[in-house]
């Protein structure tokens, strides 16, 4: 018998011994005698349970990344922040230029502009000169465009793609919620030429239309995505729920919100059927001047290199990137539109389907809430903790109404996120599924409802997960940059770990009572109205919502039904 097999047998024997104690009369843990919770959910165990729990010990804090701890931070004369981190594990070098842009800064008319910008920077070829004078910004922070100053194309998309493929390098980009990035992954032995191409695409983008039907080539697109997704009941319910709570015109209510690689740029439908606006070259150059500027950009470099030569190479390559004469708007000045949602109630999207998709929730909190960690733990108990959470147990395990049911309560947004519980169930069990979710939302607000075992499971699951979050050098550096870009504390992850360590059941109960409000709940159902109307009557007056097609467009009468 080998050693590992022996240890495995010993562990199984220990578990079996613990299980045998469960045949005896259950003995409550000392602290649980005053906190048994609803139905003593998971709070009473066999005599060996405490001993087994002690064996695993308290979760240990990981090594949190910090500037100065193998991660260098430099600021060039033009304001570009350069962050270097050596990692000689593999002969690879990764660069990522991150700048402040994204969906929350786009009006409806500009929807998809950030995605279109990074797509055209990548696919529009290399020009002979910068596309527009940098100082040309109006007081409204809009760039002007001089057609006489247009770039002559010196390398089109095909030439760039073929050279990147020969170098086994990848260049890609992505526009997200509050930031966008443009990245390079290259072999260290071919870095010089790969970096030269990357720099030209950043500083000298020709921004011309790529050839029609000229799709991505090998080694070319990196982070760009594509494809068309379906629009089933769950997607319709989720999308409509966002519009109801945020308001029709709010950026956070848009179809497919949350970041994308290629997104409806140069027109047509982007990934998932989202339809973006069409932008001409002048509009994209204006966006380039507004967003891709050194005084609001970060360049991350991670991999197999020596720091001093790399910094000098970057300083030389980006020396021609002048800082604009008009300062970039401060983060606080980039105001988001107000949230103007509809009243709580029950909304039904009438679609002829054998299943109903249900989303229940209301406006949540933003990242400034000091008790956001308690909110996250509370939601893990309620519905975010997979098979151990209450909503999953009630709807899936106890009553078998759905394969998947749960809740989410994001706490990291600049504006309040959404608390939402969701499930998809057969038509005849629609009302029962809603009833069970509402019961659990009300019940977790009751004093003494959270058991010690539920609390310990949620707390330790999050604490143990930290061990896997900081193992990748590139991700560590990216996290630090994102914190700084968002204006949040650099030591946020460490603060979160400490907050989770010190959290108590009382903190979770207070969070549930403060942030879950049954009177403000929006119930959104995508289902067969004719079959579910009567059963939904007890939840209030039904407000019928017309279905939408791809990209969030309302279906003409008779379609989508």
CATH code, domain with 513: 3.30.830.10
> For strand 297-303 and strand 81-86, is the pairing parallel, antiparallel, or unpaired?
parallel
Residue 495 has a pLDDT of 92
* Same domain (yes/no): 391, 536: yes
pLDDT of residue 555: 54
pLDDT at 528: 96
Q: Would you state the pLDDT for residue 325?
A: 79
Rounded to the nearest 10°, the torsion over CA 391, 397, 399, 401 is: 80
Q: Which two tokens stand for residue 170?
A: 């990848």
> Both 461 and 434 in a single domain?
yes
Question: Is 485 inside a domain boundary?
Answer: yes
pLDDT of residue 552: 57
Q: Is residue 137 part of a domain?
A: yes
| Number of structural domains the chain divides into | 2
User: Within this chain, do residues 423 and 304 fall inside the same structural domain, yes or no?
Assistant: no
Residues 251/375, Cβ–Cβ less than 8 Å: no
- Judge whether 314 and 100 are in contact, CB under 8 Å: no
Q: Rounded distance, CA 533 to CA 33, Å?
A: 45
Q: CA 99, CA 80: separation in Å to the nearest integer?
A: 10
Distance CA 296, CA 185 (A): 22
Query: How many distinct helices (H) and strands (E) make up the chain?
Result: 16, 16
Q: How far apart are CA 395 and CA 392, in angstroms?
A: 5
Within a domain: residue 491? yes
Question: End of a domain among 273, 308, 332?
Answer: 332
Of 543, 545, 547, whose CA–CA distance to 561 is shortest? 547
Task: Give, in order, the Cα–Cα distances in Å from 546 to each of 236, 239, 526, 549, 553.
Answer: 10, 13, 10, 10, 10
Q: Which helix (H) or strand (E) holds 421?
A: strand 418-426
pTM score: 0.77
Last residue of a domain, one of 332, 360, 380: 332
Residues 402 and 544 in one domain: yes
Q: Which pLDDT score, from 0 to 100, does residue 406 have?
A: 95
Can you give the residue range of the structural domain that contains 379?
A: 345-552
Instruction: Specify if 243 maps to a domain.
Output: no
Last residue of a domain, one of 292, 310, 332: 332
Cα–Cα distance for residue pair 465/473, rounded to 1 Å: 17
Picking from 114, 265, 111, the residue whose alpha carbon sits closest to that of residue 175 is 114
Per-residue pLDDT at 23: 38
Assigned domain for 558 exists? no
| 356 plus 324 within the same structural domain | no
Do 377 and 324 belong to one domain? no
Q: Name residues of the chain where pLDDT drops below 50.
A: 1-39, 131-149, 213-230, 258-275, 557-561
Q: H helices within 228-337, ranges in order?
A: 233-246, 281-291, 307-317
Q: Are residues 412 and 278 in the same domain?
A: no
* pLDDT value of residue 197: 94
> For 166-192, what is each residue's pLDDT tens digit?
999 999 999 988 889 999 999 999 999
Do residue 363 and residue 326 come from a single domain? Answer: no
Dihedral over alpha carbons 226, 230, 232, 238 (to 10 degrees): 20
CB 101 within 8 A of CB 289: no
C-alpha 135/C-alpha 538 separation (Å) is 62
Contacts for 389 with CB less than 8 Å, ≥ 6 apart: 380, 381, 382, 383, 406, 407
205 lies in some domain: yes
Residue 242: burial class (beta carbons within 10 Å; 0-12, 13-18, 19+) = buried
pLDDT score, position 78 = 93
Residues 496, 126: Cα–Cα separation, whole Å: 44
My answer on whether 389 and 327 are in the same domain is no
- Other Cβ atoms closer than 10 A to 377: 28
Q: Within this chain, do residues 325 and 349 fall inside the same structural domain, yes or no?
A: no
Is 55 a domain residue? no
Backbone phi, psi, residue 560, to 5°: 70, 20
Task: Please tell me the distance from the alpha carbon of residue 547 to that of residue 558, in angstroms, as a whole number.
Answer: 10
Q: Is 533 helix (H, G, I), strand (E, B) or coil?
A: helix
Q: Is residue 487 domain-resident?
A: yes
Could you tell me the two tokens for 482?
A: 């994102």
Beta-bridge partners for 266: 278
Same-domain check for residues 436 and 297:
no
Distance in angstroms (rounded) separating the CA atoms of residues 426 and 433? 10
pLDDT at 286: 86
Q: What is the DSSP letter of 415?
A: S
Kind of pairing between the strands at 170-175 and 179-187: antiparallel
Same domain for 83 and 203? yes
Backbone phi, psi, residue 349, to 5°: -95, 115
All residues at 6 or more sequence positions from 456 whose CB lies less than 8 Å from its CB, including other chains: none
């Amino acid at each position: 018998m080998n050693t590992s097999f022996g240890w495995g047998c010993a562990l199984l024997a220990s578990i079996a011994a613990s299980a045998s104690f469960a045949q005896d009369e259950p003995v409550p843990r000392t602290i649980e005698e005053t906190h048994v919770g609803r139905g003593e959910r998971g709070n009473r165990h066999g005599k060996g349970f405490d001993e087994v729990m002690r064996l695993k010990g308290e979760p240990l804090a990981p090594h949190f990344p910090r500037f100065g701890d193998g991660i260098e931070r430099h600021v060039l004369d033009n304001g570009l922040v350069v962050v270097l981190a050596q990692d000689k594990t593999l002969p690879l070098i990764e660069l990522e230029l991150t700048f402040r842009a994204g969906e929350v800064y786009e009006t409806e008319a500009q929807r998809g502009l950030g995605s279109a910008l990074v797509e055209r920077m990548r696919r529009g070829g290399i020009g002979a000169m910068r596309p527009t004078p940098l100082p040309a910004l109006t007081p409204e922070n809009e760039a002007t465009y001089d057609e006489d100053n247009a770039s002559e194309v010196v390398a089109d998309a095909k030439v760039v793609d073929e050279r990147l493929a020969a170098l086994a390098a990848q260049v890609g980009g992505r526009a997200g919620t509050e930031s966008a990035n443009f990245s390079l992954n290259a072999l260290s032995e071919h870095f010089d030429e790969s970096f030269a191409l990357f720099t030209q695409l950043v500083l000298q983008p020709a921004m011309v239309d790529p050839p029609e039907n000229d799709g991505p080539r090998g080694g070319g697109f990196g982070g760009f995505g594509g494809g068309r997704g379906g629009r089933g009941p769950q997607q319709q319910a989720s999308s409509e729920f966002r519009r109801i709570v945020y308001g029709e015109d709010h950026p956070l209510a848009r179809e497919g919100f949350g970041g994308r690689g290629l997104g409806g740029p140069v027109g047509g439908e982007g990934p998932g059927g989202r339809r973006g606006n069409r932008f001409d070259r002048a509009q994209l150059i204006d966006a380039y001047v507004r967003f891709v500027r050194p005084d609001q950009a970060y360049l991350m470099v991670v991999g197999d290199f020596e720091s001093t030569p790399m910094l000098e190479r970057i300083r030389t390559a980006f020396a021609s990137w002048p800082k604009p004469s008009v300062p970039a708007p401060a983060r606080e000045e980039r105001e988001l539109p107000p949230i103007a949602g509809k009243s709580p109630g029950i909304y039904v999207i009438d679609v002829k389907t054998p299943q109903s998709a249900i989303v229940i929730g209301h406006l949540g909190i933003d990242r400034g809430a000091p008790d956001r960690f308690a909110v996250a733990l509370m939601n893990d108990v309620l519905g975010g903790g997979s098979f151990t959470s209450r909503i999953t147990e009630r709807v899936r395990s106890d009553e078998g109404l759905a394969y998947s049911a749960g809740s989410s309560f994001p706490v990291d947004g600049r504006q309040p996120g959404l608390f939402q519980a969701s499930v998809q169930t057969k038509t005849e069990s629609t009302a029962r599924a809603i009833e069970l979710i509402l019961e659990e939302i009300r019940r977790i607000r009751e004093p003494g409802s959270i058991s010690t075992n539920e609390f310990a499971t949620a707390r330790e699951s999050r604490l143990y997960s930290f061990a896997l979050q900081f193992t990748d050098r590139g991700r560590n550096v990216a996290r630090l940059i994102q914190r700084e870009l968002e204006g949040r504390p650099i030591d946020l992850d460490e603060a979160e770990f400490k907050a989770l360590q010190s959290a108590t059941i009382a903190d979770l109960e207070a969070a549930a009572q403060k942030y879950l409000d049954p009177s403000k709940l929006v119930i959104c159902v995508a289902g067969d109205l004719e079959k579910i109307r009567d059963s939904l009557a007890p939840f209030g007056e039904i407000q019928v919502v017309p279905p939408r097609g791809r990209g969030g467009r309302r279906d003409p009468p008779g379609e989508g039904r």
